[in-house]
Amino acid sequence: MGATPSDVIAMAKSEGVKVVDLRFADLFGVWQHLSIPVSAFTESVFEEGVGFDGSSIRGFQEIHESDLILIPDPSTAFVDPFLDVPTLVLICDVYDPVTRERYSRDPRYIAQKAEKFLLSTGIADKSYWGPEAEFFIFNDVRYAVSENSCFHFVDSREGIWNSGREEGPNLGYKLRFKEGYFTAPPSDTLQDIRSEIMLTLEKIGIQCEVHHHEVATGGQSEVDLRYDTLTRMADKLMILKYVVKMVARKHNMTATFMPKPLSGDNGNGMHTHQSLWRGNENLFYDERGYAQLSSIARYYIGGLLKHAPALLAFCAPTLNSYRRLIPGFEAPTRLAYSQRNRSACIRIPVYSQSPESKRVEFRPPDPSCNPYLAFSAMLMAGIDGILNRIDPGAPLDKNIYDLPPEEAKAVPTLPPSLEDAINCLEADNAFLMRGDVFTEDVIRVWIECKRNEASSIKPFPHPYEFFLYYDV
């Protein structure tokens, strides 16, 4: 934080860097990059930028206006811990080369605008974010789609489906469905790999809090980062995904943040903890409130609940996301809030009575999202709740999955599909455009792309349909 271009150039020299890698996220949250030799790495790179073809990046420019430029953020510099050639990595902002203004579809710009809008409201100085991005580490993955076939296959040495496999020898200790949470070695086969992930992150300056095996069999894991401000946490989450995948590959394994790669067991969520601060004061804390929540926190929750159906278009943005958002797998589908309650879509953690720890956990997001957009959208919904004093109603301190039918009907539900979430975003997006944080253009492009994605699966027969219907 606070590094200057000259600091970064000096860092490159002291670390023996030979290549500088410039990275940025496309509209959908996948890292893109280009590399320059260190001999070309001068302060002019931070002033003039480096050009690229924006028409070849998903969700960016049309071909007749393709030129864009990358300008590195010096505060993001780190030496890549995996590449054989010493390489310095910088996360970049995207600019229009004609106007020299920020590019409106750059998701990092949207995150930065969200932070500025929060400050402009006078509500708070900053927001803190703590996403819990779950992932699977598999030993094998194969998939293919063609006109006459469609299949996927994933495998893990700890998957319960391999309890009877000839492994010469099979040593057992396979994890049963839904019994992986906090399990210890030898059943947890990934302890050293997760430790390597955590230590690699800390080596490049990203503080971690904990790692552990997650609920599902077959290698589900979690590595939690220390909370940070919105844009910086989105940067860190991009780095986390990179480190997880690269460490897995180093061990001849493969990692995925896909929300639901296995049937019959938990999927990958990204429960997102969030709070608002003014100076050193946590504005979400009030010792007299329900679960020690302040009125500001309750209004923030009201905004999240009101706009949750639209938020899912950014927070659970894939077709596969809705394989996860089904009752019974710790993926909440009912719009309610509650302390300690993991069946509600908003949980208030009560591990600590400390004012600094008070936060709101929004549970529907998953790690397929673009964190710059998802965090920004959640913040804008919360701000809308505060500005309009949206009352979230009474908490629901029950197991929502087990509610009697007549009670369940009274609790609103999340959209059941990507198509429904996109329709909700189309109907409810004015709150995102306050302060020009999300523009009409960004929302239009997002809806168009995601609607096409939702339609793309319709012509393909599902393999399970052959199981159900081949003999009709």
Active site residues: 53, 132, 134, 214, 222, 271, 342, 361, 363
Question: Can you read off the two tokens belonging to residue 348?
Answer: 């208030």
- Tell me which residue has tokens 């940070």: 228
Q: Considering only CA atoms, which of 310, 308, 328 is closest in space to residue 267? A: 328
CA 184 to chain centre: 27
**DSSP states of 202-261 as a string?**
HHTT--EEEEEE-SSTTTEEEEEEPPEEHHHHHHHHHHHHHHHHHHHHHTT-EEE--S-S
Question: Can you read off the two tokens belonging to residue 264?
Answer: 């019959």
Contact 32/24 with Cβ under 8 angstroms?
yes
Contact 116/368 with Cβ under 8 angstroms?
no
Radius of gyration of the chain (CA): 23
Give, in order, the Cα–Cα distances in Å from 267 to each of 78, 119, 211, 217, 421. 31, 36, 17, 10, 19
CB-based burial of residue 427 (10 Å sphere; 0-12 exposed, 13-18 middle, 19+ buried)? exposed
Contact 111/231 with Cβ under 8 angstroms?
yes
Contact 365/347 with Cβ under 8 angstroms?
no
d(CA 136, CA 9): 37
Q: Is the peptide bond before 309 cis (omega within 30 degrees of 0)?
A: no
d(CA 187, CA 173): 5
In terms of DSSP bridges, do strands 337-339 and 346-348 run parallel, antiparallel, or are they unpaired? parallel
Tell me the CA end-to-end span of the chain in Å, nearest whole number: 64
